Amino acid sequence: MKNKFVVSALLAALVSTAAIAEVNSLRGDIGTGEGNEVEAVKKIPHSQERLGLDYVNQPPLIPHSTDQVQLNPSNNGCLECHDVNTYRKANAPRVSPTHYMDRDNKILAEVAPRRYFCLQCHVTQVDAKPLVENEFIPAGKFGE
């Protein structure tokens, strides 16, 4: 039992030493040590024009702020406007019918648990430069 404790303590010391090692940012060869300034959070307009999609099956971007939207296991604020029963009153896009299917394609009465947390796939659109260079070319404007 004492050996297990010693091994665990040594392992913890090794892991904590590795955690102190210098880590580089996605923004380039700038270390994440003291003195680095964090870039300001992008301002998201209250509402903006919806952007088209860049590829087939891309989750649509959210054209409004989600700061005040509650999204937790007991409440999904997105459904207050986007649910099939409320989207017309809110003049909002309806949740896709695929979100009401389980993994066996069985139709459910409520949003499927695997699709419940909207912000896993859908992100708020913001005009921001990419963190890293890429050569992505949109495959067309499927959402227009």
Q: How far is CA 97 from CA 1, 83, 107, 112, in A?
A: 56, 10, 9, 10
Tell whether residue 118 is among the known ligand binding residues.
yes
Tell whether residue 125 is among the known ligand binding residues.
no
Tell whether residue 99 is among the known ligand binding residues.
yes
Cβ neighbors of 10 (< 8 A, separation 6 or more) are none
Compute the 3-state secondary structure of the chain and give helix, strand, coil in percent, each to the nearest 5: 25, 10, 65
Tell whether residue 122 is among the known ligand binding residues.
yes
Helical residues (DSSP H) of the chain, grouped into ranges: 2-20, 79-82, 87-90
Sign of the dihedral through C-alpha 37, 134, 42, 116: negative
Tell whether residue 46 is among the known ligand binding residues.
no
Known binding-site residues equal 64, 78, 81-82, 99, 118, 121-122
Known binding-site residues for heme c equal 64, 78, 81-82, 99, 118, 121-122
